[in-house]
Structure 1
Amino acid sequence: MAPPVRSDLEVTSIPDYPEYNEFIAKLRVYHEKRGTLFDPSPRVGSKHVDLLKLFNTVVERGGYDQVSDEKLAWRKLGSEFNLGTANLPALAFSLKTTFLKYLAAYEITTIHGKEPPPKEILEEQTAKGSGLLTRTMENYRPPNRRDAGALGNDNSEASGDDGTPVRDRNGSEEAPGSGGRVTRGLRQAPPQRILFQPDTQPSRHSRHATVTSHAPSSQQQPQYRGASTSYNPSLENMSNAVANYEPRPQMPLSLRPVTTPGNNPLGWARQEKARKELSQAGFVPGRPLPPKVVWPGLNFDGPNIYVRCLCALKSGIRSEQDYALHHLVKISMERGDKYKFDAFPGLAEALIEKALEVCPLFYDADWQIRYMEDGQLPSTNILDGLNGTKDILQKIAALPKVNVDDNLQTAEFSDALLQVNEAALTLRNMIMLEENAKYTSELYPLRDFLTIALNLPNVDCVVELKHYALDIAEAVTQFWHFDETDPLYQSLLQQLNSQDRGAILIALRSICRASMQLEENNPLKGIPKQLLQNIMDWTLLKDEEMLHACLDFLYQYTAVVSNVDFMVSELQLTPLINQLTRLLMHNVKAYERDIPLGEDRIVPAPSQIASLPEGLYTQIVRLAEPDRSSQWLRCLFEEDPDQMITQIQLWQAYQMQFAREQEAIDQGQGARLLAAAEFIKNVSSTFYEKAVAQVQAGPPIVYFIKGIRHRSKPVDFNGEEYSKCLWHIPPGIQHPGGEFHLSAEDMYKHILQDHLGATPNADGKFENDEAKYNCSWDRCYRFKTVAASNLAEIARHVKIHCPPAPSASKSADYSGGQSKKRKTSYRIPAKKQTFLLYYGLSDEKYRAAGVPLISVLVLRNLARNLPKTATEEKNMKAEQAVSLVEQYFKPIEQKLFEIMAHNKSLVSHILSSLEISL
């Protein structure tokens, strides 16, 4: 099977998979027949190149010739192979050369069906150019590196692209005094009519020349000739880089005297001593000196801490292993995210072998790992390192036990157990990284170690080691597939009978995580009846972690039909289904939500402006302009984006309202009213959110204010709405005492005085007059036919028509400022109904999560698989048979409908269960 597809084409190591090996074998045979050299794993830069991927990629793009003819194609291909960004042109050309040497002839033969050119003009030539399909001995001319454009061109040979030479520019294209060359390519050869004469005079004065020296005359100016000046012989147009060139000064040679007895007696003596030692060691003059051995501690720091720990662990020396395990525990804890097994080959195996040394502490045997192809193990204490030990449980049971006193231990026992625990702890810390877990999952001795550790005697001193083993199993079992007879699977099931809550939790999680990263399903076969009943009973505990672990197990267990059949035939499902139904409401919170039963009703705008109460008018008049007009607008008008009022109508209402003020102004008293233009501007300032002065094209031209409407009832400065007196008045008669009143007391006095004719005494109270009184309130039928006999009786009835007390929250003074956001009075909200909703744990998309989700998924598995069981088939053959789904789900059907009505996140999952049950 081919390796998983990577995000890019990078290959940092030699590939090894069946398709690649088969392709390399064919390619090796092809090059042997052709008589050319072949490297199965060539390198470009610092990385190996996968020849199969390179061949397929180039062929998909049309082949070598088409890729070479495309501009910058090889450079793009180098980027796709992630060869690096440093000097990418050179790497791209190296990649092109690799294809030419090893794959070009093979492409011509297998893809195009033609005879490739001889190796003299193909593999033994440079990769510059293309045209392999038409290349012959007669028409092929090796590229000349002196061609134009070979230097200073991005599309050079080293770039992996042939390209075209840069167009040479003449002298007129270069600006005078330009610092660049006359042409970006190679300098052109001089015309044949000009003989080449090298210039021997300096192109500029020496650095020590005086500044006051005069330039030579035109007659004495030297004639510049040669390849660099034949194209542009004038000195003015020459490149400054050439004209100002000055060669480097010659550096004096450093001479060292030869060591002789005369000039250096001590040095000569040391050399003679060294010659004698070499001759005694068998050194022959003329041969190279043997390599000098540098011992640790003598100007050599030795290996780093990682390699030192690995070597010390493998040494078998107790003190060295103490040192290694101490540092490995610290490194794995602090640098666990960087410390990987694949970077230190043999480390995982060494740790496993060290952890297996726990066996001699409790059994009279010592486990040994053997890697044998035939699988024949010579002894009972040998583990199969290639395929795993299938009968390891039987071997453990057959081992003679050592009498261990758990209360009193020897120093040797404690030290040995400490090393084993440190090795297991290092494994546990490193396997928390997914790359390490995947690496160790391929080591069969690890499975045997976990089985051995979980089956150690039930003593307190091994509890720590067992928990390390369970943590390792939880991280690694996702890469393993268990069958019913697997020793590790049986050992994990045995841990569920433990009295240790932590061991039960981790064992359940390990079993549930099995085969998570594999295509095989985890059928969870061979679960004993009593153990399954315990898991069902644990769902009743008030333990969140245990509840999650049990529900995860039940979700996977009920996904298999045979498992559901076992539960139906051997256990009572009714308590489990009732518990799962209760768990649908686990940790949910109830909220009341008002849902409107229709749309809001919009009251039509009044055609006339409401009358202003006398008390409110007195407050407004005291204000100065423009606050007076703004407050008047707020009290009698409100914002409505769908309504409009003509500017002339609004201006006339303003003048009529304050006509008495205008009279006072005419008499030289009172505050001045706003002019028409200023008043219209003030309207937009008062209702700054929606009111806009607009013009409607005529004829006639209409000027209006859009965004405001009349209030049906005026409001005071605090936004409190006045109440309208609905007492019937004969037409043509003005409403006595004003039409609107703010407080209940004002309305009460108004009705008694102005409509019933009662007169208050000096204390402000009314006498109980004996007379006939009728109620003329709109739509009130009290005292219509039978009148009240006295004032007290009608007064008690009048109080029901008085408005409620003003709201205490509306106490802000709106005078002199912008209008605040107020609730619109013309929009009557629709009637609402209160619903009780449940909200539990959910994800970022407000979907169900946690215990309720897992519980409803278990219920759905049961509803789907109950009709498929063998028990269902037997049950349906009986007379008056009732299906298992109806038998188990009919009692909870009403509860499921209730939960579905209040918890929207579970609707889709509950519906899928109800559809099957119904």
Structure 2
Amino acid sequence: MSTAAARQAGGSSSQQRAYSQPGVAKPPAPRAQAGQAQGRASARVGARQYWSRVFGGPHFLDPGPSNRLVLSIRSGIAADIDFGLDRLVQVTSVDPDLVRLGEMTGLLDGCLALISDYVERRRADRARGVPAFGALVGDDSRDVLRRRAGEAALILRNLAPESRSREPLLTSRKLKKAICDVLDEGETGALDVDETTEIRLCLLDVLECVAEHIPLALPGHAIAITAEEEADEERAAPKPEPADSPSVRLFPLLVSLTRTKDRALILAGFRCLSALALNDKSDSVFALLTYEAVPPLPKPHPHPIQTAIELLPLADAELNLAILEFVYQHTLLPSNAALLATRPELLGILRLLCAKFHVGSRVEEVEIDLGVVQSEAKTYRDSHGAVKHPRKPSALVAAKGNLVTREELAQLVSLPEPSRALTWMRLVYEVDPQSDVSQVALWQTYQAQWAPHMAPGVSPMMPASDVIKVSQQAIPGVQPMVIEAGAEKRFVIRGLRLKERSELLGRHRCRWAGCTSAHALDSARACYHHIYSAHLATSPPPSSCAWHKCAYASTQTEPALILADLALHTRTHLAPLDPPSSSSTSPSDDPTAPLLDLSHILHHARYHTYAGDATAPGAPSPADAHPVQGVGYFAALSVRNLARIAKLAVDAAAAGGAGAGGAGEGGASGGGGGKGASGSVLVASGNSAIGRLAGEQQSIFEAFAAAAEGWSSTTTKDGDVFARLDKVDFAHALPLAEALVALQPTLNATVMSDVALGRVLSEAVLQVEEVRRALLKLRPVDGQAAAAAVEAGEGEGEGEDVRMDE
């Protein structure tokens, strides 16, 4: 499970998070019985003996403050430093359990010292005015420092997932400062900034392992306190964090990583932000209100939620997973979710989230035979037609001919790939959630379309794998997946089908050499008459066929026989002139024939999405782990968060309407009727609500709703921004309720077809139904049209799309 799984609604934020970074050694199972511990100790002894054979001498892996490898990297002697780093890199990459930071005193400080030496050298070079050319000139001493810093960071990265090495990382102040210093070096904008990329990635992996326990603070403010600390009367007043504190520096540095052009840094930035958001003391830092208002923020970058929305449409499963984890954490804060509801492209964002539900899911086709016996066949056929549940439509493979017009083909041939494939797919295919096209069929159709036109100067065709990848860019919403029907596996592209283009259906073009007729004919018979009158019935008639590349020549000598021979031959190039009439009846259509049993097959797609349950049907095996797993799960969790806010929004709007009505009737009655002593609309206090999350008896949203009677009097924050964080007016989130009602059919269909996501979204579906009914009550007179739209499941602004603001 990934970093944000520890903070599901109703879960404890303090539970241990499993590290899921690919390519890093996984932590061993926790120690249990004494026999198991003794077995592991024996395994460690055997592993040390293995490394003795590998190194051809002593392994130097015995724990203690006098460990040879630790003393080597701290000695200051170049040969010894390189010796110690080389041994530790090899061992920690394979057997990280043999090197525990708690047992090898000084290893952590030694690695951090090597990293600091490199950072100081870069700063010294920059002070002398040579940083822009350092990477080009190639200073040997600086390259050595960079290599050692990279190896030291790699050692820490390999050890960070180990539970027995995590405590020294959590308590080390030098580690947080070193991470900030290295990330800050990446923000200098110098030509040699890429030197630090490898070190930054390793330290970001370390930060992800310990980020849950690192509280963040706003500039000029103290770290937030918990409810227990607030109740302690002997507690000293918290002091504002200095500007150079890692608690202040980390957030803006990670935000800037989300705007880089390096995909690896973007992934690491979002993962670390999601892990840092697990700490409840950092809520005010992640709030969108404080990011926009508290100096020295904002930085010259938008809030990460804006970057996440811009990157969400990309067909990148690993990036989608990191982004959706952050979106889930972002929407856990009620103030953030309420502000998200005010975005003009809200409906488009929700549709993107719903489109991610079944990314990487396993699809199972279920066939249900709805047979009808003879005695009921006539009644069934009269009322339902000949076929009740036909098989879902599938695209045909066009092995011959074009799927585009002659004019479109002339424009497409000159385009380079992949622009040609993108434009061609948008002309030929369309979105249909109930259809699919096999990946082989898509490639064969592409090949049949463009293989005849390959010539010098024409862009070569793409390989099959690239054609399948391009389909996701050409038509958003389709997903390549594997459908399992018993023991058979089908590789398809879900949600895609061939267009039924009226300009190509039933149209026939004359392909006779030299024909000047540019218009297409409506039928094969009309095309035949055109060929006969324009090309054959001449004096004298042609002696050979001139249709495209046909080489047929008549063996007759008389003009009349030549004409008859070629007229008969040209029909081989055309469709049948007299297709079977639709009025012909089969024995089953004869009303006097005996009625047979009717067989109607219902084809149902059942999805299995991995949602954290290792025993579920859709769970990946340890040998088949893939970053795509979990994308749909976090998309569903985000939608569930927003559905809870939508429910609070309609309750707030109803309470506000009741308050306004009370003021109108009572005249002199106080503040007029809303919940709370002030008569305002529904509000919730963030700090006081979080304090009631003890024992996992309440989810965060239940706690916020329970605080609706007023604003916590114990709040110590000042200023309008912090007041708005503590006192959220959910009535402004009413557009979110309307947008979710518009997507109600999609949510209902997902719950019915996916068991795993159904457990997550069932609560959201019930809340959306309550929201729909509440919206109808809010507009009984002047909103008849809007109420009717809600009743039909159609929201306002369905045509809106996500706006990509750079």
For Structure 1 versus Structure 2, the TM-score category normalised by the shorter chain is 0.3 to 0.5
Larger Rg: 1
- Bigger fraction of residues in helix: 2
Query: Under a length normalisation based on structure 1, what TM-score does the superposition of the two structures give?
Result: 0.36
TM-score if structure 2 supplies the norm length? 0.41
* Structure with bigger RCO (C-alpha 8 Å, 6+ apart): 2
